Structure formats: C-alpha cells, structure tokens
Amino acid sequence: MSTPSEPGPERSEPGPNAIVGERRHLTNLAYRLLGSLSEAEDAVQETYARWYAMSRQRQEAIESPGAWLTTVAGRVCLDMLGSARVRRERYVGAWIPEPLPDRAEWFSGPASAGADPADRVTQDESVNMAFLVVLESMTPAERVVFVLHDVFRYPFAEIAEIVDRTQAACRQLASSARRRVRAAQVSAVPTSAQADLVRLFKEAWEAKDIEALVDLLDPDARMLADGGGLVGTVLRPVEGSKRIAEYLVHIADKAPGLTLLERSVNGRPGLVAQHTGVTVTVAAFDLTDDRITRIWAVRNPEKLRPWTENLPAETPDQLDQDPLTSARTSSR
C-alpha cells in the first residue's frame, strides 16, 4: 500500500495557528490507526491535552510542534490499540471498522455548526474498508509502524522513537505488515466498475431475486455484520453466495419499506439501508474481477453517528422493534 495521506514530518512552524492546524493530520492518522472515528477523536483530544498541559516555556522549547504532536498521537494510539484488542475480544459478534460517508454527505445540521471541517478524514485507498480490515489483523506495533511509514511516509528513525523500538525492528514490523496486506489480496477494482456491480446488487436485492444475487456474488463470498449487541444481526459470518443471497432476501421480507441508497462508504461505492427514514445499516464491499467477495454490514448505531445525526434518533423502543432484529437467528 502506498497512498500517503498527508505530508510527512517537518510540516509546521511553531505558533498557536500551527498547533491548531495539525488537527486534520492527527485525525487522519488516528482514524487509520484505530479504525474508529470516535476513538480517533479521543486520541487527538488526549494529544492536545498533553500539549496544553505543558508550560509555555516547555512548548516554546520544542523545535517542531507538529512532530511532537505526531509522536504523542502515535503513542496514544499504540496504547489504545492494546486495550482495544482486549475490548474487541469481548465484543458481541464481529467488530468492523467505523464506516465513513463521503465528505459531501457528512452531517451538516445544527449540531455540527461549530465543527472544524479539518476534522473530517481525507478519504483515499488507505481508508477503504477492505484495507482497514487488514489493518485490524495486525499487532498494534505492526499497525502503527506500517501506517506511519507506508501510508504517511515517516522515516523509520522517527517511527522508532514513537514505538520505542530500534529502526531494524521497525523495518521488520513493516515487512510483516506488508505480507499481511499481500496475503489479504485487497481488491484494486476501479471505482466505476465497483459502482456498476453495487448498483446491480442493489437492484437484485430490491427485486428479491436470489438467482441474480448469487450470480453477482463470488461462490466463496463472505458477509460480516456488526451490531455490537445493540441491534439484531447475525453473530457469525454468512458464507457462500447462496446463503448470503437467501439471508438478504430474508431481511427484505422481514423489513417491508426498507430503502436502499447508493452511497460512498470509505471512498468506495457502497449501500445504505434506511427504514422509516433512519439509516440502520451501512454496507461496504470488496470485489474480485466481476464478483463481490466480501460484504461488511455495520448496524451498530454507535458507529453510524456520522450517517444519522441529522436524522431523528431511534428510541430504545424503536431499537427493540427493529424489523431486522428478527433476522438475527438466521444463518447462526
């Protein structure tokens, strides 16, 4: 993977404006390291808290505030990744990275009036869902080293300081991470081709056409769903084109009035499912040639915040009445 999202080090000059101007870079870095926008925001908040906790004299003694902030953010994320692995072992069902809408569709209602647009994550190949899922398979140290070096183009000398390893060890970690990426065979299907296939998939799902869905899915396709224990969904992967197609039609039967929308999900064509005007599922896809090989369906409402904050919030009663909940036992 070679998609630098931001310039490397030596990007800022000392001063209040330079400090504030680092927020976009730090948010972009933290999201790729953590796979969660909410956790990324927490990491950036902690990074700034540590900066402002220092005396003015100590701040002025720092030659490159940008490099200092990146170092601290990297260490904060490394610590968070360690604890996150423990939390995700206790997570109900599959854990899928938090999906991001296209910038043009980002929540723009009253609650965001004071939000800094720079907080939004730059979307490129390094945030597509398939790539983020591969990052989840890495150890915390592998992930931090790989993202800093291969995505953000930081030199191993500086990364070694962040992760408290030797440069040689960092090179080994990066090499191990690259092997994981190659083994995962992350798709490089052009966006236009993926959009066409997702559109056909949407139409087949709306028509409840099992045969058409099977034709669009790779025979060994795999679908994961993330409800986080907060809403109903399958707790284990649904595997095989026929089982996935039958499950999707089962959902359509159980949720009359379900609306499917073609939307950009983490920079790639995806689908958003809405029920009574509320976004209940965001689906990302991975393709090989002309078939869908992976579907990641995020239903956890805590991960759909950027997609739902401008819509009426579901009450606990509404969540209990979610028509998709009854589909949770299918394919267990």
| pLDDT tens, position by position, 209-251 | 999 999 999 999 999 999 999 888 888 999 999 999 999 999 8
How large is the greatest C-alpha to C-alpha distance in the chain, in angstroms? Answer: 69
Q: What interhelical angle do 65-89 and 156-163 show, nearest 10?
A: 50
Q: Average pLDDT, stretch 68-84?
A: 95
The pLDDT of residue 68: 95
| 46: enclosing H helix or E strand | helix 37-52
Which residue type occupies 62? I
Flag whether the pTM goes above 0.85.
no
> Which spans in 98-256 are helix H?
129-136, 140-146, 156-163, 167-184, 191-206, 210-216, 241-254
Q: What is the pLDDT of residues 270-280, one digit of tens each?
A: 999 998 889 99
Could you tell me the domains of the chain? Answer: 16-94+138-184 (1.20.140.160), 191-327 (3.10.450.50)
Q: Which of 55-69, 175-189, 301-315, 316-330 has the highest mean pLDDT?
A: 55-69
